[in-house]
Amino acid sequence: MKYVFMLLVVVFGTGMPCYAYNGDTHQKITEYVAQGIIEEFELDTYLKEHLDFRFGFQEIITSPLIMPNFQIQVSKSIEGILSEGANGEDEPFWRCFHHFHDPLQPWNEAGLGLLEFLGGRRVNGESSVMWAQKSAGQQTSGQYSWHDVRGYYHQALVSTDPGTRNVHFWKAFEGLGRLMHLVQDSSVPEHVRSDSHINPFSYNYEKYLRDKRYITYIDSWLSSTDRYTYDDSLSQLPPGVSGLAPIPIARMVDTDRYSGANPEETVNQPIGIAEYTNANFFSKDTIFKGFEHPARSSFSPPEYLDRPDPRDPARAVKREYLRKTGGGDTGSLLCMSLAGDAAAPADPVYSLDDEVYRGYAARLIPRAASYSAGLLKYFFRGTIELTVPEDGFYAFMDSQPAEPKTQGFTRLAVMARNSSGQGEEMSGGELHLVVKYRPSLTDPFRNFEPDWNSLQDFRYIEAHLAGDTHEIPSASPRRFEFDLTGSPIPLWATDVTVFLVYKGRLGAPRAGGYAGEEEAVCVGFKDISEPTPVDVMNMTDFLCLNGRWYDVHTTQGLAEAQAVIGDRFWYGVEPRTMHGLYFRFSSDGQAASPENHSYMIDALGQQEHRRIFLLTDHSFHLSCFSQEFSEPVSTAAYAGLGNYIEYDFNEETQRWKRTWFHPGFRSFRGLDLFDSFIVRHLRVCTDESGDPTTADCPLCEESLIGTVPFDSGRAR
């Protein structure tokens, strides 16, 4: 019973005081990381270009808050969720018992010792690096380990229900904020020197930063980018021999390079932030005790600085300080002596005050931001480059379905390449295709005026590729094709984007072992065209002769044209059926041929029209080959149809402006055309001698025939 009482005293006595940075400081650091470009990583750009969050870190996510008797919807920006997570990791208070890591101890003993009796620890907090890597669902009072957060992120990406996606994105970003909190705590001396700082009346680094008078300094400390020392090589270090925290985020905290006797190593990269903090700074209760460094031999002779007299702030008194000149990081005031120089005892009592803590924070807070950004960068490092397949489209249809609002493309292919860098391999995992789109309530293949009241919310389609050992190479892209028969992309889809989501092994062998993850989540994103109609038409029923149209479909028109040309022209101008039309779609203008084509029409009769539909890039090339052309190959640039909403932030008004970009169609021969390939006669004219030629002939105005419909039954 005695020990139970002792445990209760420790638990309730060490609750609040074991916090490190207060909520404001954690939020400030996290917000700064979310808004800026740190360690060559910008969250805002990543969110827009890889996850299609069009407002970046300002994107609002809505999630239900479930109360005992009711449920409400709460909304917050991604930046706000991250900072809320960074603040919330200390709630309930006993979670902070797992926010300590002494880099000089074995990792399973590096946490905070809460209670010791009978010669050893009986109640321990877990090391923060192990707490961060607990198996999914194993943390107490909330599940936000790296594995939990990876799971939330994956569910958010592959879910098709918008509400489910939002709930899991919220949890993922909140969890990332909590993981960043753990990294930030490793820049607090108490948290890396086993100092529980349980005395509620003592003045320590944490309480200094809680003082509202000093919160204004944080912005200047954060902007000290010369102290941003995170190195990407940390994320490529294999796990230690213990294997207790195998994901390389542990190495951001502790590389096992600092032994307690080599503090000079802590200012060289790669080094864990806990090692740097432990070797170079005191906590209140570990000044010259418990740790070899900072050592007395690492200080200059005492120097005296004017400080306000606590008994009379209007006057100053001299206080004795020791400045660090060796043994690792140098230049900062490490402590002050409470005894004056004249009456210095043989063993003076040392303490830490605002002057010391301000110097600590100027060095430690930038590193906290730097290493936090490094963790965020590592989480999002798995990227996949998506490109159009060799046949020039992601999806294809050669006819219009009966129900274009719900029916459409039933297969989609994409080329994927591992673009993660650092030589990490996606060497085996599961693949999901996710298509994001807005349904259109009206035919999008006609000219229209945007109706904001009819704008639909996004919908999602998901398809899983059979098998779970897919590899995405980094040297060259690989084709992956998905069956969407059960949930096709509607022909009337607008604002279409595609994601390729990989979950599996991401890493590489390194000296000393494998560095990486077994269940990484990697994302490829591509903003592709909307369903794009391409009209193929045989217009050999008209001839442009001497700048005038002749309707050679009619007996009279053909006779009139032949009267001008006579029988001296090698080219027959009567309407004709075209045979063997080979079409090639591509991103770079590849020429079509019978051996290299994407689509073929065996025969296209005069006045016949075919409409095909593509999902492709926003620009592409179409090439057509036919032995019946005067020049067998014709190639031209085309545009993929765009029908989407774009957002821009107005700095003056501090408001977002949205613009609906929609296509324009031209009316031609009874059709609304966007992209078209028209087979027609060569332009013909007569030269000075009256002989027919195709050189330098005048154009004919297409408006003159634009209203004549395509109709093979048109009167002759």
pLDDT, residue 301, reads: 87
Cβ(61)–Cβ(120) under 8 Å? no
**pTM for this one?**
0.93
Helix axes 23-35, 78-88, angle to 10 degrees: 150
pLDDT digits (tens, 9 = 90+) for 615-639: 999 999 999 999 999 899 999 999 9
pLDDT value at 118 more than 50? no
Average pLDDT over residues 14-20: 51
Top pLDDT among 71 and 324 is at: 324
Q: How confident is the model at residue 209 (pLDDT cuts 50, 70, 90)?
A: confident
Calpha distance 594→599 (Å, rounded): 10
Long-range contacts of 297-300 (CB under 8 A, 24+ apart): 297/326, 297/327, 298/263, 298/324, 298/325, 298/326, 298/327, 298/328, 299/323, 299/324, 299/325, 299/334, 300/324, 300/325
Residues 195, 199, 202, 206, CA torsion sign: positive
**336 three-class SS:** strand
Overall CATH class of domain 383-527:
mainly beta
**What is the average pLDDT score of the chain?**
91
Average pLDDT over residues 283-289: 92
pLDDT digits (tens, 9 = 90+) for 368-377: 999 999 999 9
Q: How confident is the model at residue 503 (pLDDT cuts 50, 70, 90)?
A: very high
Hey, what amino acid is at 521? V
Average pLDDT over residues 607-613: 96
| Rg (alpha carbons) of the chain, rounded to whole number | 35
pLDDT, residue 7, reads: 42
Average pLDDT over residues 409-433: 96
Q: Hunting for tokens 């399973």 — which residue is that?
A: 108
User: Which 8-state DSSP code applies to residue 511?
Assistant: T
Distances (CA, A) of 9 to 15, 121, 126, 203, 570: 10, 16, 19, 21, 106
pLDDT digits (tens, 9 = 90+) for 521-579: 999 999 999 999 999 999 999 999 999 999 999 999 999 999 999 888 888 899 999 99
pLDDT, residue 8, reads: 40
Q: How confident is the model at residue 346 (pLDDT cuts 50, 70, 90)?
A: low
- Return the minimum-mean-pLDDT range out of 61-65, 594-598, 697-701: 61-65
First to last CA, the chain: 109
Hey, what amino acid is at 538? N
**67 three-class SS:** coil
pLDDT digits (tens, 9 = 90+) for 450-494: 999 999 999 999 999 998 889 999 999 999 999 999 999 999 999
Percent of the chain with pLDDT over 90: 75
> Beta strands 685-686 and 671-673: pairing type?
unpaired
Q: Where in the chain is the domain with CATH 2.60.40?
A: 383-527
pLDDT digits (tens, 9 = 90+) for 183-197: 999 999 999 998 875
Top pLDDT among 435 and 91 is at: 435
Q: Hunting for tokens 């297969």 — which residue is that?
A: 411
Q: How confident is the model at residue 16 (pLDDT cuts 50, 70, 90)?
A: very low
pLDDT digits (tens, 9 = 90+) for 243-281: 899 999 999 999 999 999 999 999 999 999 999 999 999
Average pLDDT over residues 28-41: 93
- Return the minimum-mean-pLDDT range out of 112-116, 121-125, 309-313, 382-386: 121-125
